[in-house]
Each structure stands twice: as C-alpha cells, then as structure tokens.
C-alpha cells in the first residue's frame, strides 16, 4: 500500500519534483492592511469554507473500513470540497448521504460507455454539483518500480466493483476489460459528460496553456492543472511550473484548479496567488484517512486552512480575492 500510494510512474522524477517546485516561489507581502478578520471562504460550483479540498483518489476502503464515507464525513466537517473518484469503493449514494451540501464526481471514461454514463447519472441524481473529467489517463501510467516492490492491493473484487457491478451486462465475461480506461477520449467528451450530467465539467490533468484554451473552447467550465501526482507521464513538468501558463491562457474565462505536491498552507497560498481558485490534496488525505479516519481528514484540512489563513494575514490579504500574482516571485 505504501508503494502504491507514494510512488509514481517511471523513475518518480515528476513525483520527486512536485513539492520542491512550490518551494521555489517566494512571497512579496503587503503591509498596513486590516487583517483583523481573514476569510478563506470560497465559491466554486458550491460554497465552501476553504479553497483547500480533496482530489479524487481510488480505493479508500483499503485505508479505512468506512472508505469514502469517512473521507466525505471529514470533508464536510472542514467545509472543504471533495471530489469522489470513479474508483470509489463505497456506493456513490452512500457517500452522497454523508454530505448534505455540494460535492463533485470524478469521471473516468471506461471502455463500456454505458457504465460511465450510468455512474454520471447516479452522481448527478445523488447531488453532485460538478463533474471532473480526468483527461490524463487514457491508460494507467507505467509504474514498474511500484509493481516490483508491491504485493497486490488488499482489495476484494467486491470492493473494487461496488459501483459498477449493477451495470455490468448480463453474463459479462471479462468485466475488468469493460471498466478499464478508454484510450480514445477527446475534446468532444467534455460535451458528452455535460449533456448526461447537466452540470459544469472540470477537465483534470491539463499542463499547457494551449491545451487549457482548447478545453475552454470545447465547453469546459474549469480546468484543473495536474500531472496526476506524477503517476502518469514521468518527466511531466511540475504543476507549480505549469500553473502560471495555464492561468494566463484562460485569462479569467474559467476558474483554474491545481493539485500536486501541495503539503502546507504556504504552498496553497502560492498557488492561489498564482491564480488558482482551489488547491487540492491527493496523498495527504489518504495518510490522514488511514491514520485517523474522518477526524484525521478534518484535522488535516483544518490545519492547512489555519496555516493558509495565518499566512494570508501576514501577507496582507483578508480575503482570497486579495491574493494576486504580485504577491509571488520566483521560478
Ligand atoms: C493512490 C492514488 C490514487 C489516485 N486515484 C485517482 C483517481 O481515481 N482519479 C483521478 O482523477 N486521480 C487520481 N489520483 C490523482 C489525484 O487526484 C491527484 O491528481 C494527485 O494525487 C495530486 O498529487 P498529490 O498526491 O501530490 O497531492 C490518484 C492519486 C493517488 C496517489
Ligand atoms: O492509481 C491512480 O493514480 C489512478 O488514477 C487509478 C486508475 C485506475 C484505477 C485505480 C486508480
């Protein structure tokens, strides 16, 4: 499990660079601003108390007996956005029941489109307020080092198939093939997801300005700068390096979200000042879930949010809207 979570594709070059890349920026604080009360409140396909949220990650039942239900419970208590993975080990409806407010659903296009469509419909019916289409995984990254080190995940077929079982065609032989990733996903799929869900679509896994602009032209309602935590294309650039180019290219037409190597409130502050509207956490949520369940997830999100709030005040920003590009230098 440790290897599955921590490592990435190839030689882990992209994984190793992720955290250092945020640390290459430095802050240019404002002074003599009233920072008596600092708010981290944020609106993005829902209203939240913090712009620090939960990136979609697979198979939470391996980390905690309550799986994604515990993660969702932890997110709600922190007022943080949560993105539920297509590879959730808890039923979409059961996770949604743990959340009274908004949440987002991550879409993997599976080989059998009708299964993906059914998951999208169920998520929308259960109260999701946005769809996150993962674009960087036409097939899963080559994780040879992990494979050499790891044993199979302690995950039963029943857990892995929780959400798809009911949609498998009668007598389907190789169902693993039906739910595997599609390699032919395209810009047209943004509209495909939007039409089924009747909800905004975020495209996750964008690392270039021109690609972000193409997504917006194709109807994306937000773009999410991500290299999938270094698990897809090794030697892909860091998200800290890619973010400014993407922000410049979309020029305020849609919100930009970012993840990858964000580990404290200062990383979050840098990302928000560079123009991100929200900053998402992958692995840290999994550590917190494994260690302390829902309370661990809330504790993690609260701690990073408190750190962000304190740093915002010292940088002279009382609201997220006060954060701008002039606050950061470097890279
Ligand atoms: C174990 C693991 C499973 C993941 N599963 C998914 C997934 O199901 N869907 C998806 O879009 N991204 C998935 N991701 C990528 C995350 O959403 C996110 O992009 C990445 O973890 C962010 O980097 P960080 O872990 O450094 O915070 C996964 C990442 C990890 C570590
Ligand atoms: O491991 C991953 O990063 C991931 O996104 C994934 C893809 C397919 C199945 C499970 C997880």
pLDDT tens for 25-73 read 999 999 999 999 999 999 999 999 999 999 999 999 999 999 999 999 9
pTM: 0.98
Q: Where are the domains of the chain?
A: 2-330
List, for residues 314-331, the tens digit of each pLDDT value: 999 999 999 999 999 996
Whose Cα sits closest to atom 5 in ligand 1?
57
99-135 burial: b if 16+ Cβ within 10 Å, else e: beebbbbbbbbbebeebbbbbbebbbebbbbbbbbbb
The pLDDT value recorded for residue 1 is 84
What pLDDT shows up at residue 154? 87
Higher pLDDT, 149 or 32: 32
Going from the Cα of 4 to the center of ligand 2, the distance in angstroms, rounded, reads: 10
Compute the distance between CA of residue 171 and CA of residue 112 in angstroms, rounded to an integer.
15
Q: For residue 230, how far is its CA from the centre of ligand 1 (angstroms)?
A: 9
Residue 104: predicted pLDDT: 99
Residue 204 beta carbon below 6 angstroms from any ligand 2 atom: no
- The first and second tokens of residue 88, run together, are 């959730």
DSSP reduced 3-state for 14 = helix
CATH architecture of 2-330: Alpha-Beta Barrel (3.20)
Question: What pLDDT does 331 receive?
Answer: 64
**Is the ipTM of this structure higher than 0.85?**
yes
């Amino acid at each position: 499990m440790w290897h599955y979570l921590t490592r990435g594709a190839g030689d882990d070059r992209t994984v190793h660079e992720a955290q250092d890349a945020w640390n290459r920026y430095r802050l240019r604080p404002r002074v003599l601003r009233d920072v008596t009360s600092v708010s981290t409140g944020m609106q993005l396909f829902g209203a939240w108390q913090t712009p620090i949220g939960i990136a979609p990650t697979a198979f939470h039942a391996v980390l905690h007996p309550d799986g994604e239900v515990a993660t969702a419970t932890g997110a709600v208590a922190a007022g943080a956005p949560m993105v539920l993975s297509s590879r959730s080990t808890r039923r979409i409806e059961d996770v949604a029941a743990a959340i009274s407010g908004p949440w987002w659903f991550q879409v993997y296009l599976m080989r059998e489109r009708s299964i993906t469509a059914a998951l999208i419909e169920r998520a929308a019916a259960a109260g999701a307020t946005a769809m996150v289409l993962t674009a960087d995984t036409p097939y899963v990254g080559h994780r040879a080092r992990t494979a050499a080190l790891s044993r199979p995940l302690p995950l039963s077929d029943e857990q892995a198939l929780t959400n798809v079982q009911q949609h498998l065609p009668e007598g389907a032989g190789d169902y693993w093939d039906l739910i595997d990733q599609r390699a032919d996903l395209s810009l047209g799929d943004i509209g495909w997801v939007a039409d089924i869900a009747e909800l905004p679509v975020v495209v996750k896994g964008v690392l270039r300005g021109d690609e972000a602009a193409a997504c917006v032209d194709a109807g994306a309602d937000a773009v999410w700068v991500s290299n999938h935590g270094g698990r897809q294309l090794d030697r892909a650039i860091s998200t800290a390096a890619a973010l400014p180019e993407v922000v410049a290219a979309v020029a305020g037409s849609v919100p930009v979200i970012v993840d990858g190597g964000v580990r404290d409130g200062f990383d979050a502050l840098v990302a928000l000042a560079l123009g991100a509207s929200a900053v998402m956490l992958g692995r840290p949520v999994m550590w917190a879930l494994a260690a302390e369940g829902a309370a661990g997830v809330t504790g993690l999100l609260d701690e990073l949010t408190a750190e962000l709030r304190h740093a915002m005040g010292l940088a002279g920003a009382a609201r997220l809207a006060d954060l701008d590009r002039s606050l950061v230098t470097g890279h």
